[in-house]
Amino acid sequence: MFLGIDAGTSEIKALVIDGEGEIIASAGAMLSVQRPHPLWSEQDPAQWWQATQQVIHALRHQVGALWPEIRAIGLSGQMHGAVLLDRDNAVLRPCILWNDTRSAAECEQLTANVPELHAVTGNLAMPGFTAPKLLWVAHHEPEIFERIATVLLPKDYLRWLMSGEMIGDMSDAAGTLWLDVARRDWSDSLLNACGLSREQMPRLVEGSQPAGKLRAEIARQWGLSEQVVIAGGGGDNAASAVGIGAVNPGDAFISLGTSGVLFAVNDRFRPNPHSAVHAFCHALPDCWHQMSVMLSAASSLRWLCELLGTTETALMAEVASLSHVEQRRAPLFLPYLSGERTPHNDPHACGAFHGLTHASNRAALAYAVLEGVSFGLADGLNVLSEAGTQLDCCSLIGGGARSPWWAQLLADVLNLPVVTHRGGEAGGALGAARLGWLAVGGDVQTVCRKPAVLHRYLPDAARHQQLQPRLRQFRQLYQQQRELRHR
């Protein structure tokens, strides 16, 4: 059996798969995000470890007598977070997360100081990435910066606690802006530009390679063998791709989680940074991928539910009862609650409802949010197309994949068939478990097969055309907001 642990933003998820790749147990423990100032987003790494211990305890209870048969562990995690350790491996400050946008000025500095940045990393400098965060720490917390001995990404901090090894993988490292993505190695010039060196970085391996074993103390606590291998693992989206079987060029998926992602697999490094498309290493050797990323997807719906004091289930039921006429009269929503990445690279973009009237009930607001997120993904698909990536079909994963209504709306907006899979909500945890399997000799074609299809949602051509005027207005509203801010 194989254990996969996904260190997400809102939850630590974990599951166990058997030798046939079937999920036999799963568990989760919720996390909280701290926002001590506007634009800031932080977590205490100790919270991740506490939550990991909780899910291990729950899984061990579920699996029972078979638990000691686990042979390998894979790790997946939220990308870009900066865990700063001193020489004694103590955490120096809370982890600055991927959706923290305080470092916009540092992005401009990095871009100006490193002319080769885009060519080497394949990405624009954005506040969510790790490198600008370290420049911010250097500028605003110099006494902490001087004490940094090691910088780890979130899942790799968990690896260190589990194994005592400071190791990272290519897919996660690609999101730091310190990796030469084509060469799959740290870039000394980019590290230098941030006042750092290779000695402060973890050793890099491919996601499907062994990357440590359980420490004896942890093995005893967890009731597992000290010979359990920990795989390199992957950033959350690359691991999710492994879980959904998106491992061959042309494979693609949409992830509707806290953020919204359109992910397409490539057989080579294909950067298109000027459209804010991400070009990263995949979690498998000799494989890359492109992504469009919006910062607030399912989290926009969660925000509205908290505002209205209701549940997602109740609100989705109300949305499903709206007629097409009522949908066309609904407000428009800009889903930029945390700024935006693709295609705008605008940390100052903000959310907005437009077109509110006395007739705007909560079902109409919820429809606007779901449609606005779908329009944001349409913007991402558009720039992927401009980058030369043509998609014929998309799998749908993440929490949003549980809603047939939203899946059909996505198919209609994108004019693209959308497919959901059994276990698709497992996301990065399933991919992590598969990477663990690969690290102890599993065959890629066997391990990374696509899960069984649950539903296919075919685009309605008439509905697609009906949505185009609202999509055009959505895009105009963002441009007007941007112009107003500039004035």
The pair of structure tokens assigned to 384 is 């992927």
The four Cα atoms 79, 81, 86, 90 give a dihedral, to 10 degrees, of: -90
For 213, the 3-state DSSP assignment is strand
Half-sphere exposure of 221 (CA within 13 A, CB side): 13
| Nearest of 381, 302, 378, 379 to residue 338 by alpha carbon | 302
| Marked catalytic residue, from 100, 156, 180, 236 | 236
Q: What is the DSSP string of 55-101?
A: HHHHHHHHHGGGGGG--EEEEEE-SS-BEEE-TT--B-SPEEPTT--
Task: Using alpha carbons, list the distances in angstroms from residue 263 to 140, 246, 345.
Answer: 35, 9, 18
| Residues of the binding site | 79-80
Round to whole Å and give the CA distance between 295 and 300: 9
With tokens 């990477």, the residue in question is 435
Q: How many CB atoms lie within 10 A of CB 485?
A: 11
Classify residue 36 by burial, with Cβ atoms within 10 Å: 0-12, 13-18, 19+.
exposed
| Nearest of 120, 75, 124, 77 to residue 98 by alpha carbon | 77
CA 12 to chain centre: 13
Round to whole Å and give the CA distance between 172 and 203: 12
Contact predicate 403/316, CB 8 Å: yes
The pair of structure tokens assigned to 160 is 């260190």
Residue 44 annotated as catalytic:
no
| Residues of the binding site for substrate | 79-80
Round to whole Å and give the CA distance between 181 and 318: 45
Contact predicate 136/209, CB 8 Å: no
Catalytically annotated residues: 236
